Every structure is written in structure tokens, then in C-alpha cells.
Amino acid sequence: MGLTSQSLEITVIVLAVVCVAATVWLWPRLSRNGWRHVLGRLGAIVVTQLSIVSALALAVNANFEFYGNWDELLGNNEQAPASVSQGDGQYATVGNIKGGLIQPAGPQGLDRVTGLPQGPASKVGKVESVRIIGRRTRAINPGFVYLPPQYFQQQFHRQRFPVMVVISGYPGGIMNLAQHLQIPQNAGQLIAQGKMQPTVIVMVRPTIAPPRDTECVDVPGGPQAETFFTKDLPDAMKSAYRVGHDPSAWGAFGYSSGGTCSLQLAMRNPKAYTSAVSLSGDYAIKDDLTTGSLFGPGPTGAQHQREHDLLWRLQNLPSPQVSVLVASSRQGESDYGDTMKFIHAVKPPMRVDSIILPHGSHQFGTWRREVVPALEWQSQQLTFPQDTEPNPPQKPAPGQTKGAAKGQAPADDQSHKRVEAERPQG
């Protein structure tokens, strides 16, 4: 049974209950004098405590996904391969890629999620559970990949699809993206309704070295998280799937720490991501107990940290040619003040749109209200289609401006507008 499988968690919980019941039942007999009874009592306490702690540890790990499989837990991770394996060129999916940079994985909690595509992939799409291997960073990160129905349809067999890299918060894992935010379920519905273009979505966690929070930063002498997200992950996706090669087809999307990462990735690396969505993200990265030292000591470390302060970048560096969507709440979110400062600091050619709720705290109830309009917004920023063979430039997809099709902001005197979030029913 997999480390994150529901069957293992249920089995261990049942064993814990049985151990507690057996200890209560046998305790009168073990209360007698004698070294055997003393050892019996100690054994009963140890076994009961271990069973309870194991059940709790499995439940916490299944929810936050510190470790995705037994090898990660035991430190037996494979070394990343040095070469890129290419797909079959037509309907390449992870099932066809053996020993490549994206490899099939166990369910990783996917078996717990309801509402995922059921039926022929050409009609309902598909969600794959994978391991993403960094050729440069040698990191191995768990992920889910959503493939829209069009990916498997004959009329799209020559098309490269746009990509959303959706990043969870910390210490949450990819399960939260599928179970609580329902990213693949919402995307499937929006695509079926014609409100979102067919898009490949890769769902990942923000850390590449759990349980440390790497915050999408290249740590001096440590994990190279920014390199993983801007180079390794795109290379791996391009090696296994028919996805766009131009940055205009790539966008980052996240909530909480994942939102922080998304903004950092796009603003610091506009040649990798040309749009970003941040739901309740921060605008600067700071060291804390979960991150350790991310930037290193001395003046060099201080400058490195300043460069990860997005307000500082907007005031001191040229604006990148990217589009971003930020979301916050007037009441209940601590980042509201910084969000407004960020919005007012943005200047062309960068564009910023926003979702500002009247009230909403830092939790999934708030993000579920924002995720559907945010998916629609980012879909409008991404170029589709891109041919798998050289051809004359394609016209923009319906609903796109020429600027958006080129990865540029539409010509507009305003650099900010508001996106309406779906209001709760009733």
C-alpha cells in the first residue's frame, strides 16, 4: 500500500483502535505483580502509543504531503537522469514515458478525490499522477497533470497546448489542489462551457526539499527551487507532453505560499512565465523557522533578499512584460494593505488585475470563491494553439487580443482592472 493511500490510513487507524481496546481489556490481568506483568504493561503502553502516533502521522502526511511515497520517507530517492526522453510525438502521455523526466507514480492521494474525469479521455480528459525529476537540480517532486479532452482528439493532434503550473500552499500538498480547490474539476467544466481554452495543468507543491519551505528560491549551497520551476519543470513537461514551447503559453498560479511563488516566478523570470495568479500571496520572502536561511549571509545575502521583495523590484528595477492577477479581502486577510500597494506600484508594460472580496480569511472557503474567475482570467493570457511543426503564425484564439496571443498585454491606457469573483449563492 502506498504511503498516502487511503487504505493504509484506514488500516493503521483500525489497528490503533484495536490496540487501545486490547490494552483496556487486558489491563486488569497485567496489573498483577511480577516482572512478566510489568513487561506486559510496558509493552502494551508502547504498542498502543506507537499505533496512535503512526495513525496521526499518516493522517497529517496524507493531508500535507511532506512525503509522497515510502522511498522519500526512507531517503531512498533515485538520482535524476541526465538525459531527456522524448514522447511519441502524437498522443504522448506519462504512460508512454519510461525512465524520463516525468514518470508514473502511485495514486499520491488521487484515489481520495471525487469528481475527477471518468470515461474516455477524448471526451472527459484525464488526470495523471506523476513524479517530476529535475535534470539540473536533481529534485524529485510529486505532481498531478490534467490533460483536457482535446489533447486526445484527432483534430488537435498537431497542437501544443498552453500550460498552467498550479502551486499549492505550504505545508499543503498537491492533494489540496485536487480535493479542496478542485482545479481539474473546475477546469474541465470551464473548458466544456467554452469559458476556458483547452489547457494542460500541472499541479505541484512549492517546496522541492520537504519538510523545508524552499519558497521557490535558489538557496546558496542548498535547494535550487527557482531553477526547478523555471527550467527543470518546463523541460520535463515539454519532454513528455505536447505543450507550448513559447513563454506566452506558460502561466503560474497559486494560493498562499504558492501565490507568492507564482508572482516571484513571473516577475523574476518573464522568459519562462508571462502571467501569474496569486490568491492571498505575499509580496516579499523572508526567513523563518520553516525556511531556514534562504539568501545567505552578508551584503550579498541582503541584496539577494531585496531582489525577492516585489515592491522593491517595482520601485527600483524595470517592469517586466507580464500580466498578473492578485486576490485579497478587505477584511480578514493580512495582505490587503500590501496588495493595494502592489497594485498601485505596477506600471507598464506590466499589467495587474485584481479580485478584492469584501471579507474572507486565509482559507479554502475564500480561495474557492476566487479560483473559477482566476482560471478564466489566466486562460485569456495564454497562447493557443501552437503547432507542433513550424507554420505561419496562428491567429489568436477566440476571445484573445493580438497582444495576449503574443504574450503581451493588450493595448490599454489602464494597467489595472478588477476581476469579479463569483459570489456565494444565497
Mean pLDDT for the stretch of residues 196-219: 95
In a domain, 139, yes or no: yes
Q: What percent of the chain has pLDDT over 70?
A: 81
CA nearest neighbour of 421 among 265, 280, 311, 283: 280
pLDDT confidence of residue 42? 87
pLDDT confidence of residue 74? 63
Q: Regarding beta strands 140-147 and 126-133, do their DSSP bridges make them parallel or antiparallel, or are they unpaired? A: antiparallel
Residue 196 and residue 375 in contact, taking contact as beta carbons nearer than 8 Å: yes
56 and 93 co-located in one domain: no
- Side by side, which strands form the sheet with 275-279? 102-104, 126-133, 140-147, 200-204, 163-167, 250-255, 275-279, 323-331, 351-359, 416-418
Is residue 144 pLDDT above 50, yes or no? yes
255 and 113 co-located in one domain: yes
Is residue 78 pLDDT above 60, yes or no? no
129 and 256 co-located in one domain: yes
310 and 195 co-located in one domain: yes
115 and 58 co-located in one domain: no
pLDDT confidence of residue 2? 64
Q: How far apart are CA 325 and CA 352, in angstroms?
A: 6
CA nearest neighbour of 129 among 95, 152, 105: 105
Residue 314 and residue 236 in contact, taking contact as beta carbons nearer than 8 Å: no
154 and 303 co-located in one domain: yes
Whole-prediction pTM value? 0.75
Mean pLDDT for the stretch of residues 17-28: 86
Residue with cell 484525464: 126
Q: How far apart are CA 406 and CA 409, in angstroms?
A: 9
Residue ranges making up the domain that contains 334:
85-418
25 and 118 co-located in one domain: no
Paired strand residues for 126: 147
pLDDT confidence of residue 71? 59
Rounded mean pLDDT of the chain? 84
Domains held by the chain: number: 2
Residue 265 and residue 228 in contact, taking contact as beta carbons nearer than 8 Å: no
